[in-house]
Structure 1
């Protein structure tokens, strides 16, 4: 798997959410941004387990992604974040990202991976990014794909 391409594809998938009425559009990036335009989703750290199958047939990556929402109003920000963290629905990041799995028999992320799954949400809390406070959470995404180029 080409990690930079996979990161960009995850961000593209997240961009498909439909934000609640009256909320700014979700901005997304496949990398940790210098500055955040909230609400913002980005792909952060990742780890890779190589050689899950013989002959470089399969690697497994785990991506830690973050979503940050402005906190002008504490309750409203958390309600927006909750909608993004729902397991289903138009604003669900899980639903939007897992839609990039493709149809049965298709590769995920436009052919970049064999499959992916949002496995959990963690770290629901206040985050500081470049000196500004946001309410946010982390999404953990597991991606499996070929270890060696095709």
Structure 2
């Protein structure tokens, strides 16, 4: 797996999410931005397990992505975040990202990985990024691919 390609393609998949009516478009990037234009989705840290199959046949990685929403109005910001964290539907990041798995038998992320799965949401809380507070959460995305 080429990690930079995987990061960029996860962000591209996330950009297909449909935002709630009246909410700004979701800004998506494969890397941690210096400054956030909310709402924002970005791929942050990742952990890798090498050699999951004999002779470098497969690696697996857990990518931590964050979604941050501005807090001009605390309730509406949390409602937008809740919508993005739904398990299904056009406004679901899980649905948008997992659509990049491809059809059965196809490689995921346009050939950058064998498969992926959004495992969980964690850390629903206030985040500070470059001195500004946002309500946000983390998505853990499990990706497997060639070693």
Same fold (TM over 0.5): yes
TM-score band, normalised by shorter chain: over 0.9
- Runs of 4+, deviation exceeding 2 Å: none
Cα RMSD, aligned residues only = 0.3
Q: C-alpha separation between the residues in 2 aligned to 1:89 and 1:138?
A: 19
Q: C-alpha separation between the residues in 2 aligned to 1:135 and 1:91?
A: 17
Matched, 1:140 2:140: yes
Q: C-alpha separation between the residues in 2 aligned to 1:27 and 1:73?
A: 19
TM-aligned CA deviation for residue 90 of structure 1: 1.0
- 1:71 is aligned to 71
TM-aligned CA deviation for residue 123 of structure 1: 0.1
TM-score (norm 1): 0.98
Q: Gaps spanning 5+ residues in structure 1: where?
A: none
- 1:13 is aligned to 13
**What SS class does the counterpart of residue 55 from structure 1 fall into?**
helix
**Cα deviation code 1:55-77 (max 9, x no counterpart):** 10000000000000000000000
Q: Gaps spanning 5+ residues in structure 2: where?
A: none
- 2:37 is aligned to 37
**Cα deviation code 1:27-59 (max 9, x no counterpart):** 000000000000000000001000000010000
- 1:26 is aligned to 26
Q: C-alpha separation between the residues in 2 aligned to 1:16 and 1:35?
A: 22
